[in-house]
Structure 1
Amino acid sequence: MTLPVIAVVGPTGSGKSDLGVALAQRLDGEVINADALQFYRGMDIGTAKLPPEERQGIEHHLLDVLDITEEASVAAYQQDARSSIDAIRGRGRVPVLVGGSGLYIRAALDRLDFPPTDPAVRARLEAELADAGSSVFRERLRLVDPVSAERIEDDRRLIRALEVHEISGRPFSAFMPRREYHQPAVQIGLRVDRDLLRERLADRVLGMVRKGLLSEVEQLAAAGLRNGRTASRALGYGQFLQVLDGALTESEAIEDTIGATRRFARRQLTWFRGDPRVDWLDWQEPGIVETAVGLVRSSGDLS
């Protein structure tokens, strides 16, 4: 029996966490986090991390696995997520990925290889480009990877493409992702009316503030939040660090966070709508859990 991996995707604030738990309950599953900011210990309120008491006894994986000063890595996540998937499947249970970080979802689900890197090679190429110029480097790339040479416009990516070819012997374009599942999977997207989502996201941010977002940021700042390249720029956290620094009032930080969250949700929708494999359900659809279970069962023998 092949057990498909389930991924619950969509914009922030659409109810992914609740549906993920419900599906895990119905299908004897375990949840794997696919929200890059929920990797961080202590970042609970501002990431809407589901509290343990609301997880309904369902095992959750890849939550609270990084310190706020560490940088999240898609390549490392791919390895960790696939290890979690294999372990869950080995127990005869169903893996349920839940999150809105599109690249992380693809890393877990799709045939996606990450090109190697070598800081020494990159530094040498940067020095060579400074002397030779972009046109010379573009011609060098055209000889070994004409596809990338046509696509790439900036110097940074020119260097990256030549770095990858020098290290691996493969063209950078060979690492481009394909919409091809690494193993059987089904993606369920949650669709929310745009105006309703805008209102919901504003309420969500206000709710985080009422729960103590400023206090959470203050505690994390004392633990080194400003030194975390990823964590310090997270929605809400960057804004409320500025409150602590006196650069923004709390009201300004709230408005800035609401606007940034809405823009982020639009980018998430653009990403997931670009994948024709996603089955979209209205987040308020009556019987949404039953409908989602039906989609999963129709994609594999889970009876």
Structure 2
Amino acid sequence: MHGQPATALQTAAAPPVIAVVGPTGSGKSDLAVSLALELNGEVINADSMQFYRGMDIGTAKITDAERRGVPHHLLDILDVTEEASVSDFQQQARALIGDIHARGKRAILAGGSGLYVRAALDVLEFPGTDPDIRRRLEVELETAGPAPLRQRLEAVDPVSAGRLGDARRIVRALEVFELTGRPFSSFMPAREYFQPAVQIGLEVDRELLRERLALRVHAMVDRGLLEEVRRLDAAGLRNGRTAPRALGYAQFLRVLDGTSSLEQATDETIIATRQFARRQLTWFRADPRVIWLDWQDPALVARAAALCRTAPVPPPP
């Protein structure tokens, strides 16, 4: 995913962007398709792991039949060896939103990758990168461990140091500081829409979701998740920076290595998926702009469509 810096791409009196958000397994893809059929819309994927070609079973990627003829964008755009980029996604998603609206249709974001959703919807600036700085910091991480890097980050950006636990993100924060002279935390987004938007969140019964996620993982295994991981391993999955961390794929790579059993990998994937769903709920619950609807409401599609139809249309610029 490569592109130029994002620019405002609103058309005159364009309708608000629609985003369908919520935890994994809550039915976001189905609702997005139903809304697209109701509102003459097109769907833009905002699940970072569904960017990858071949990662179909383990990401619960929507099938051609499930799309019901609705155009879907930003699915299957990366090889598993490539790294997903939030800033590139921002540029591509905003270009698509502008194009969809220019054709008189509704743009509908669907996905549970919270930062990617915000990148498309919110005023959010991304600092650049420097491969030389990144490489030097990564070598330091490998040789000395994360403690010295964290200590250095605490001195220049205590906010990020207190928030970031992952070593890769600590490296990124230090890279940004060296490159820009600004703390990484200064680039954090405000809750301010880049262009008008309406976010619909799917409110779930948490115990029922836990059961559904377990059943879904077992269904993935029955459909051939291990074989999918085996094919992707041969295609270089382990060489990627993003793809091999996807739920299920890391666990089932260990089965291929002989260090885990199929049953153990399945159980670990269920646990990891439930934990991920909790983190997603925490993320989206923190945004007061999300309008929550019951995922099991028989009138869900009608209610969501009504919200999208009545969302205020901004005046032409």
TM-score range, shorter chain: 0.7 to 0.9
Q: Contact between 1:42 and 1:220, CA under 8 Å: does it hold in 2? A: yes
1:21-170 matches, within 5 Å, as: 21-121=33-133, 141=156, 148-149=157-158, 152-153=161-162, 163-164=175-176, 167-168=179-180, 170=182
Q: Which residue of 2 aligns with 1:202?
A: 214
Q: What CA distance in whole angstroms lies between the structure 1 residues aligned with 2:49 and 2:17?
A: 22
Q: Which residue of 1 aligns with 2:5?
A: none
Q: What CA distance in whole angstroms lies between the structure 1 residues aligned with 2:50 and 2:149?
A: 40
What is the CA distance between 1:2 and its match in structure 2?
2.9
Q: Which residue of 1 aligns with 2:271?
A: 259
Q: Contact between 2:44 and 2:110, CA under 8 Å: does it hold in 1? A: yes
Count of aligned residue pairs for this structure pair? 294
Gaps of at least 5 residues in structure 2 are 1-12
Q: TM-score, normalised by structure 1?
A: 0.88
Q: Contact between 2:198 and 2:290, CA under 8 Å: does it hold in 1? A: yes
What is the CA distance between 1:236 and its match in structure 2?
1.0
Structure 1 pair 293/136, CA: closer, same or farther in 2 (3 Å)? closer
What is the CA distance between 1:246 and its match in structure 2?
1.2
CA root-mean-square deviation: 2.8
Instruction: Give % identity.
Output: 63
Q: Contact between 2:154 and 2:161, CA under 8 Å: does it hold in 1? A: no
Structure 1 pair 161/18, CA: closer, same or farther in 2 (3 Å)? closer
Q: Which residue of 2 aligns with 1:236?
A: 248
Q: What CA distance in whole angstroms lies between the structure 1 residues aligned with 2:28 and 2:216?
A: 14
1:45-87 deviations in Å (ceiling 9; x for gaps)? 1100111121111000000000011111111111111111111
What is the CA distance between 1:244 and its match in structure 2?
1.4
Q: Which residue of 2 aligns with 1:214?
A: 226
1:7-26 matches, within 5 Å, as: 7-26=19-38
Q: Amino acid of the residue matched to residue 91 of structure 2?
A: Q
Q: What CA distance in whole angstroms lies between the structure 1 residues aligned with 2:124 and 2:208?
A: 35
1:226-255 deviations in Å (ceiling 9; x for gaps)? 212221121111111111111111111111
Find the residue that maps to 1:280 and give its secondary structure: strand
Structure 1 pair 93/216, CA: closer, same or farther in 2 (3 Å)? same
Find the residue that maps to 1:43 and give its secondary structure: coil
Q: Contact between 2:89 and 2:116, CA under 8 Å: does it hold in 1? A: yes
Structure 1 pair 245/32, CA: closer, same or farther in 2 (3 Å)? same
Q: What CA distance in whole angstroms lies between the structure 2 residues aligned with 1:235 and 1:136?
A: 31
Between 257-266 and 158-167, report the one with greater CA deviation.
158-167
What is the CA distance between 1:152 and its match in structure 2?
3.3
Find the residue that maps to 1:71 and give its secondary structure: coil
Q: Which residue of 1 aligns with 2:258?
A: 246
Q: Amino acid of the residue matched to residue 161 of structure 2?
A: I
Q: What CA distance in whole angstroms lies between the structure 2 residues aligned with 1:220 and 1:20?
A: 28
What is the CA distance between 1:208 and its match in structure 2?
0.8
What is the CA distance between 1:121 and its match in structure 2?
4.4
Q: What CA distance in whole angstroms lies between the structure 2 residues aligned with 1:300 and 1:88?
A: 18
Q: What CA distance in whole angstroms lies between the structure 2 residues aligned with 1:134 and 1:233?
A: 23
Structure 1 pair 159/43, CA: closer, same or farther in 2 (3 Å)? closer
Between 220-229 and 195-204, report the one with greater CA deviation.
220-229
Q: What CA distance in whole angstroms lies between the structure 1 residues aligned with 2:51 and 2:226?
A: 20
What is the CA distance between 1:139 and its match in structure 2?
9.7
Structure 1 segments, 4+ long, off by >6 Å, are 123-128, 133-136, 154-159
Between 119-128 and 61-70, report the one with greater CA deviation.
119-128
Q: What CA distance in whole angstroms lies between the structure 2 residues aligned with 1:80 and 1:169?
A: 28
1:175-232 deviations in Å (ceiling 9; x for gaps)? 2210000000011001111110000000000111111111111111111112122211
Q: What CA distance in whole angstroms lies between the structure 2 residues aligned with 1:188 and 1:124?
A: 43
Structure 1 pair 297/254, CA: closer, same or farther in 2 (3 Å)? same
